[in-house]
Amino acid sequence: LMRNADTAMYHAKQMGRNNYQFFTQAMNDAAQERLLLENDLRHAVERGESTLHYQPQLDLKTGRIVGFEALVRWLHPQRGMVGPWQFIAGAEETGLIGQIGEWVLREACSQARAWHRAGHTELQVSVNCSAQQFQRESFVESVGGILRASGLPAQRLDLEITESIIIQHSEAVNARFQALDDMGVRISIDDFGTGYSSLSYLKRFAIHQLKIDQSFVRDISSDPDDAAIVSAIIAIAHSLGLQVVAEGLEAPEQLAFLRSLGCDVAQGYYFSKPVPAEEFARLLESWNPSARVVATA
């Protein structure tokens, strides 16, 4: 009884506290499921069960692939492919995110370097970085070490962070931004517009790029509010000298609209889903810049 009451209490806390929840079997199953997944996660990295998929980012003026986002997947021996939504939160809670995040960074940088060697020297690599990872004392040093080992120029690495990291604005976080900037690494704000309402951080920190969340892009051509928000984000970014990336681009109308607003870069299923490395390499070789982007101009 006590254990079940405890589970219900945790559930209530998760719902934002200041509420009550009755225990249900489903809560137990969900907790059990998470625990199982967490146990497996401990071995995932050692056993080499994680893999990266790559999604191209396109320059909306030229239609060329200018970069890619590395997105982690977990090849679970029984469950098959597990997406980041299902395990990143657990990895943060258990502290395993440090190990996973470092693996992702190393793998993404060495893959980017390999594509640079193959002639695509302008490619930018974007790596998602969780708040926990960013808070680690050793974070900056670890990024530096990985860059040196891979031979990737720091300017080609983009770290995607969310606004939740910035809310903390401690001295340590400030220093970390500064150190990364000194190194030449670029910082992007992921899911921009969904987290934090104060914009003062945009001038306080060395930030290079805003990624407009896909929830705003989705209805951009039908919902005037979304259109207004996206247009305002692009205007703010440009007047601060930041680059803008639109996420979750799925339809030609969205593309046309974003281009008309002067959005710099876009990524989404309309161009390509995130794909394994071999497939991304084929995309790079066969990409026709004029086919998708310029045709909608």
Q: Binds 63, which of Mg ion, ligand C2E, none (CB < 5 to 8 A, cut-off by type)? A: none
DSSP-derived pairing of the beta strands 186-192 and 209-212: parallel
Pick from Mg ion, ligand C2E, none: which does 144 bind, CB < 5 to 8 A by kind?
Answer: none
Choose among 261, 245, 241: nearest CA to 192: 245
Quick check: 158 binds Mg ion (CB under 5 A)? Answer: no
Which one of 248, 255, 263, 266 is in contact with ligand C2E (CB under 6 A)?
Answer: 248
Backbone angles phi, psi at 132, to 5 degrees: -55, -45
With binding defined as CB under 6 A, does residue 274 bind ligand C2E?
A: yes
* Contacted entry of Mg ion, ligand C2E, none for residue 88, CB cut-off 5 to 8 Å set by kind: ligand C2E
Q: CB of 186: closest distance to Mg ion in angstroms?
A: 13
Burial class (CB in 10 A: 0-12, 13-18, 19+), 217: buried
Phi-psi map region of 203: left, alpha, beta (phi>0 left; psi -120 to 50 alpha): alpha
Among 37, 60, 104, 237, binds ligand C2E (CB under 6 A): 104
Phi, psi of 100 (to 5 degrees): -65, -45
* Span interacting with Mg ion, options 33-41, 141-149, 160-168, 197-205, rule CB under 5 A: 160-168
Interface with Mg ion, residue 160, by CB under 5 A: yes
88 lies in the site for ligand C2E, by CB under 6 A = yes
Contact status: 83 vs ligand C2E (CB under 6 A): yes
Cβ proximity to Mg ion: between 40 and 226 the closer is 226
Neighbouring residues of 106: CB distance < 8 A, sequence distance ≥ 6 = 146, 149, 150
User: Among ligand C2E, Mg ion, none, what binds residue 248 when CB lies within 5 to 8 Å by partner kind?
Assistant: ligand C2E
Give the one residue of 102, 190, 226, 264 binding ligand C2E; rule: CB under 6 A. 190
Tokens of 75: 């090849």
Query: Using the rule CB under 5 A, which residue among 158, 191, 226, 264 binds Mg ion?
Result: 191
Residues 233 to 262 in contact with Mg ion, rule: CB under 5 A: 247
The reply on whether position 67 binds ligand C2E by CB under 6 A is no
**C-alpha separations of 192 from 97, 115, 241, 244 in Å:** 22, 29, 16, 10
* Concatenated DSSP letters of 28-69: HHHHHHHHHHHHHHHHHTTTT-EEEEEEEEEETTT--EEEEE
Nearest to 60 by CA among 234, 293, 296: 293
Residue 130 touches which of ligand C2E, Mg ion, none (CB < 5 to 8 A by kind)? ligand C2E
Give the shortest CB-211-to-Mg ion separation in angstroms. Answer: 6
Are 193 and 228 in contact by the 8 Å Cβ rule? The answer is no
Report the nearest approach of ligand C2E to the CB of residue 71 (Å): 4
Residue type, 63: G
The H or E element spanning position 201 is helix 201-204
How many residues does the structure list for the chain?
297
* Residue 71 sits in the site that holds ligand C2E (CB under 6 A): yes
Which residues make up the interface to Mg ion (CB under 5 A)? Answer: 128, 160, 190-191, 247
Which residues make up the interface to ligand C2E (CB under 6 A)? Answer: 55, 71-72, 83-85, 88, 101, 104, 128-130, 160, 190-191, 214, 247-250, 267-269, 274
